[in-house]
Amino acid sequence: MNILAQITSFDPVVTPAARVPRHSREEEHDSGPCTFASRLAGLIPLTLQDLAAIDGLIGYARPVERHTMLLDQGCVADHALVILDGFACRHKRRMSGRRQIVSFLLPGV
């Protein structure tokens, strides 16, 4: 099972060696409402063609009710899911019937 979003640290204190280099605001393009594109633009400079390609990846957006199962354990997805707003979690079912959360899925991550 692949983890879509991994939380690496809850500690707000990050050493300078562990920080990801960011580009300045002047180098970023306006990515609109796409959180993924804006976060990616913070890591690497994106051209207008890059932004258009990322915007084209979003086929459609739909609201999802709470506690909706997006993909059942053991099933193979035939499409990609990107969280645009809110959050979700990935969990696995234990033998006892309980759920174990293995990752949190956040917007654009």
| pLDDT on residue 96 | 94
Lowest mean pLDDT among 1-5, 57-61, 71-75: 1-5
DSSP SS3 for 18 = helix
Q: Distances in Å between the alpha carbon of 30 and those of 41, 50, 63, 77, 98? A: 9, 12, 25, 31, 44
For 26-40, b/e burial (b = at least 16 CB within 10 A) is eebeebeebbbbbeb
pLDDT digits (tens, 9 = 90+) for 28-42: 444 344 667 777 888
What pLDDT score does 108 carry?
Answer: 65
Residue 32 or 84, more confident: 84
For residue 95, what pLDDT band results from cuts at 50, 70 and 90?
Answer: very high
pLDDT in tens, 42-68: 888 988 898 888 777 766 777 888 888
